[in-house]
């Protein structure tokens, strides 16, 4: 599946468009630094090669990459990704599935957990 970088998130997880058999993974990452063009968060820079490699295969599940903003935006406790999407750490890789007809978060890896290749592979199965 392709890696989507232009997904517009709905106002809640319950509004994510998923079929009963599908999974959606969302990677919440820092936005690129305007000068370096790299994510401003060093943990995100470390995790991105692992995320890209894992989701690059044709048979990989769907992944959407969501940028949470620059450091001042991310540090704001009212940041929408902190409040609506319960993201307290970046990078965060979150799995959503339909459970009993409702879209639900069914797993989450954060920061250094994403660097563990076996843990990452087990997470996406």
* Separation of alpha carbons 114 and 31, rounded Å: 18
- Two structure tokens written together for 112: 């250094």
DSSP letter (8 states) at residue 2? P
**Known catalytic membership, residue 41:** yes
Active-site option among 26, 27, 29, 41? 41
* Separation of alpha carbons 10 and 8, rounded Å: 6
- Two structure tokens written together for 24: 């959606």
Residue keyed to tokens 């009212």: 78
H or E stretch covering 96: strand 92-99
Catalytic residues: 41
């Amino acid at each position: 599946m392709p890696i989507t970088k232009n997904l517009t998130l709905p106002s809640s997880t319950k509004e994510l468009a998923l079929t009963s058999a599908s999974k959606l993974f969302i990677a919440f990452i820092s936005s690129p630094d305007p000068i370096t063009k790299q994510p401003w968060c060093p943990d995100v820079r470390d995790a991105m090669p692992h995320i890209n490699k894992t989701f690059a295969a044709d048979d990989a599940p769907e992944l959407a990459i969501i940028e949470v903003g620059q450091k001042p935006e991310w540090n704001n406790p009212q940041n929408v990704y902190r409040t609506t999407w319960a993201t307290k750490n970046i990078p965060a890789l979150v799995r959503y599935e339909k459970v009993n007809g409702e879209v639900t978060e069914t797993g989450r890896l954060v920061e250094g957990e994403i660097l563990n290749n076996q843990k990452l592979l087990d997470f996406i199965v």
